[in-house]
Amino acid sequence: MNDFDFLTGTWNVANRRLTTWLVGSDEWDEFPGEARALSVWGGAANFDEITFPTRGYSGLTLRLYDREREEWSIHWSNSRTGQLDVPVVGRFGSDGVGTFFADEQHEGRPVRLRFIWSNITATTARWEQAYSPDGERTWETNWVMDFTRK
């Protein structure tokens, strides 16, 4: 239930995002971010706000732990839309890596969405987002965030 307690606090975030998704692009856009996270409900909920100062918008993530299913749902929104995206759902394994999935659309095309949380220490963490257009046979990582504690 306390899987995301590591995220509590303030972080510098180095973002790398593919400029175009699911077309075989290898051109990455890099930009900074700053995140502030808070754990509530004894660790069963967690939320953060991330600002992207060079992009002119911010994002909000809400993570909720389902005690019966022993899994997390992760909900994302950004200040440009104010709408919650489809939640990704999953859990952390015994290796300390969290893997979360959802079915989504990208430009009208169904894709499988995956988040991975890894490289978690007291001062660092990594989040990755990937899409699979072919039923999880292949994955394209399209956004990576490297967190460094402030």
The pLDDT value recorded for residue 141 is: 98
Architecture of the domain spanning 5-149: Beta Barrel (2.40)
pLDDT tens string 19-63:
999 999 999 999 999 999 999 999 999 999 999 999 999 999 999
pLDDT category at 1 given cuts 50, 70, 90 is: confident
pLDDT tens string 127-149:
999 999 999 999 999 999 999 99
Which residues fall within 8 angstroms of residue 42, CB to CB, at 6 or more apart?
1, 2
Contact 57, 79 (CB under 8 A): yes
CA distances from residue 60 to 51, 52, 132, 136 in whole angstroms, order as listed: 9, 11, 24, 27
- Domain map of the chain by residue range? 5-149
pLDDT tens string 61-81:
999 999 999 999 999 999 999
86, 102, 87, 141: which is closest to 118 by C-alpha?
141
Q: Which of 9-13, 29-33, 79-83, 110-114 has the lowest mean pLDDT?
A: 79-83
57 three-class SS:
strand
